[in-house]
Amino acid sequence: MAVFFSLGIGMALPFLLVAAVPGIVAWLPRPRAWMLYVRYASGVLLLGTAAWLLLLLSADLSLKATGSIGLLLSGLVLLRFLVARRPMFKRSGAIATSVLASGVMFIAGIAPSPPGHGGTADWAVFDPASINDAVAAGRTVLVDVTATWCLTCKLNELSTLDRKVVQNRPTDSGTLLMRADWSHPNAGVTAYLRSFSRFGIPFGIVYGPGRRNGMPLPELLTPGLLMAALDDAQPLRAARDAAARHVERELSRHRGDERAVPVLAAQGEYRDRQRGLLPFEGR
């Protein structure tokens, strides 16, 4: 409701300004041929909006039903164009318009929805309960909350999420890719977003032994940024960071004792080699 209220205020604002300050009329451009080009440009934008809405409709209906609706709407546009060019067809055009519009509503009403699915061949179905189990097993988890109507989500998918370097991640390092579809109201997904004080999408987050509470990602993703976040949450990086923090704490405790510095550094290096973070000499 707030969206439509804001649209109404924006469309009425010029008239309100003219009513409040009539002198503004003198600054407005005179009606000329440029208005025809504005109308043509607006028509192109409306056609683009119609195509986008059909794309959204395809998520709720089968491809055949969506294609049928698209053909009927195309016939409707062509019919109105002919009526505008040939006024003698005005009455018959009105009848044909009603028939086509009724056909669109009929198909949209009876068409069955495609079977729902939350995952794909590369992405698992969103399951918040399994995230902690995967992290406890030493795996890295990437959660992507998306929707068919989210243009920024689609941009992230094209530029980053659907690229081979990400799709091959489960095979290369055991990363679990999990996708939540918010195209329709979903209480579980909404609660998940609110747990991070988020109320919109796109939303991505990376879990892992190094990021057990999750590390939210920016709204606009790049391959380099995402791969760095996944590497940061991996067990190897977590162990290395923990070892470095331990050595830093010990160094701060013995600050001023010059004899302790090389001993502690050697201890930290030996511990890293035991954990496989550094190779032993001669290997």
Helix, coil or strand: residue 125: strand
Q: What is the pLDDT of residue 97?
A: 65
- Mean pLDDT value across residues 93-116: 61
Helix, coil or strand: residue 203: strand
Highest mean pLDDT among 88-102, 112-126, 210-224: 210-224
In sequence order, what are the beta bridge partners of 146? 181
Q: Considering all CA atoms of the chain, what is the largest pairwise distance in Å, rounded to the nearest integer?
A: 103
pLDDT beyond 60 at 120: no
- Mean pLDDT value across residues 244-259: 60
Token readout for 115 is 């079977």
Cα distance between residue 65 and residue 198, in whole Å: 35
Q: Where are the alpha helices (DSSP H) in the chain?
A: 2-20, 34-57, 63-85, 90-110, 129-136, 151-156, 164-167, 169-173, 187-194, 223-232, 235-253, 260-274
pLDDT beyond 80 at 124: yes
Q: What is the pLDDT of residue 116?
A: 45
The ranges assigned to domains in the chain are 1-30, 33-110, 124-230, 237-274
Helix, coil or strand: residue 58: coil
Q: What is the pLDDT of residue 73?
A: 75
Q: What is the pLDDT of residue 141?
A: 92
Q: What is the pLDDT of residue 283?
A: 42
Q: How confident is the model at residue 105 (pLDDT cuts 50, 70, 90)?
A: low
pLDDT beyond 60 at 270: no
Q: How confident is the model at residue 235 (pLDDT cuts 50, 70, 90)?
A: low
Q: How confident is the model at residue 207 (pLDDT cuts 50, 70, 90)?
A: very high
Q: What is the pLDDT of residue 144?
A: 94
Q: What is the pLDDT of residue 274?
A: 44
Residue 78 or 253, more confident: 78
Q: How confident is the model at residue 32 (pLDDT cuts 50, 70, 90)?
A: confident
Cα distance between residue 75 and residue 196, in whole Å: 47
Cα distance between residue 201 and residue 148, in whole Å: 11
What average pLDDT does the chain have? 76
- Mean pLDDT value across residues 251-267: 55
pLDDT beyond 70 at 213: yes
pLDDT beyond 80 at 231: yes
- Mean pLDDT value across residues 120-144: 86
Cα distance between residue 197 and residue 214, in whole Å: 13
Q: pLDDT tens, 48-80?
A: 888 877 777 776 666 677 777 777 777 777 777
Cα distance between residue 50 and residue 192, in whole Å: 32
Instruction: Tell me the chain's radius of gyration from C-alpha atoms.
Output: 30
Torsion angle of alpha carbons 251, 253, 256, 257, nearest 10°?
-80
Q: What is the pLDDT of residue 190?
A: 92
Q: How confident is the model at residue 278 (pLDDT cuts 50, 70, 90)?
A: very low
- Mean pLDDT value across residues 212-237: 85
- Mean pLDDT value across residues 95-111: 64
Token readout for 103 is 């056909």
| Domain 124-230 bears CATH identifier 3.90.1150.10 | no
pLDDT beyond 80 at 18: yes
Helix, coil or strand: residue 205: strand
